[in-house]
Amino acid sequence: MNRRIVVGLDGSTESVAAAHWGAREALLRNAPLHLVHAEIWSPPLGVPSAGSEERRQAARTLLREASDELLDKHPRLEISAESFDGQPARSLAHAAAGASMLVLGSRGLGTLRGFVLGSVGMAVIHSVEQPVVLVRATEDALPHAQGRHLDRGVVVGVDTGRPCDALLSFAFGEASRRGCTLHALHSWMLPPLAGSGSAYNPEVNAQIAQVERTGLDDMLRPWRDMYPAVDLDARVTVGPSSEQLLEAGSEAGLVIVGRRIRRSSVGTHIGPIAHAILHHSTAPVAVIAHE
């Protein structure tokens, strides 16, 4: 892994916010920042190529101005830039190969609470195994925020029924670098009909809750030992996981979710919980691929 943080830049407010978020993350990791712009400049066969050079020049200007702005705020930052002529999703995946993180901007839906992940963002998430962080243009992500986002905690959703070392490694590492609280959240559902009261048994449900709590503690124990300085808040809650994570992450500096790596080209490549968090979280969201 080459350690660098790669940021996709297209000139939108969201991608500029992603660049500033990525710059602060690079400084935390003492890593270089690599800005990437990708679009198709070559016209189809039979179509005049007028304008292609102008678009290339515009891309170079965009990257140079972004680099200058970042260096003005972060003089110690090591920055490089690169533009690609090709499909953006494929180019970004290529640029991210071997990097420690890929950061992308994500457009909000006006006054509604949520992400709009275009085909590029979703395709990149599906195709890369590096951590991908989606950043909205919120106050904490914009240039003038400085390090304000570091004061907020990190939230990670944990499924005790699946191995998730990659997820927990990333989460504990982020909390350690930021010096903030790590909120590890595991949610479980009541047995069928329990919500209506007809099948609700307080003793049975208390036993289930204890089993779930023990499972979470067992999963987190090696990481507690590895990161003794991290302030860990481990919680077991009842209810849909996506709703619980969205509520816990509403004031977080980063929400972390996992997605299973699928080798097959058939079927979905991102689970329903990660999908919901990506579309509705107001905080930056890191998607961690794991087996």
Residues 227 and 110 in one domain: no
Q: Domain boundary residue among 113, 148, 183?
A: 148
Q: 111 and 123 in one domain?
A: yes
Residue 132 shares a structural domain with residue 195: no
The number of distinct structural domains making up the chain is 2
Same-domain status, 96 and 221:
no
- Cβ distance 140 to 249 under 8 Å? no
Residue finishing a domain among 111, 133, 148 = 148
196-205, 236-245, 267-276: least confidently modelled range: 196-205
166 and 115 within one domain: no
Q: What is the pLDDT of residues 128-147, one digit of tens each?
A: 889 999 998 865 555 545 55
Pair 236, 287 in one domain? yes
Last residue of a domain, one of 115, 132, 148: 148
pLDDT band at 116 (very low <50, low <70, confident <90, very high): very low
Indicate whether 257 and 117 sit together in one domain: no
Looking up residue 280, the CATH number of its domain turns out to be: 3.40.50.620
Residues 210-250 pLDDT 10s = 999 999 999 999 999 999 999 999 999 988 888 999 999 98
Q: Containing domain of residue 265, as a range? A: 152-291
Check whether residue 240 and residue 280 sit in a common domain: yes
- Residue-wise pLDDT for 26-50, tens only, equals 999 999 999 999 887 766 665 565 5
Q: Are residues 1 and 143 located together in one domain of the fold?
A: yes
Q: Do 123 and 23 belong together in one domain?
A: yes
Both 117 and 259 in one domain: the answer is no
Residues 175 and 136 in one domain: no
Query: pLDDT by residue (tens digit) across 157-191?
Result: 999 988 789 999 999 999 999 999 999 999 988 76
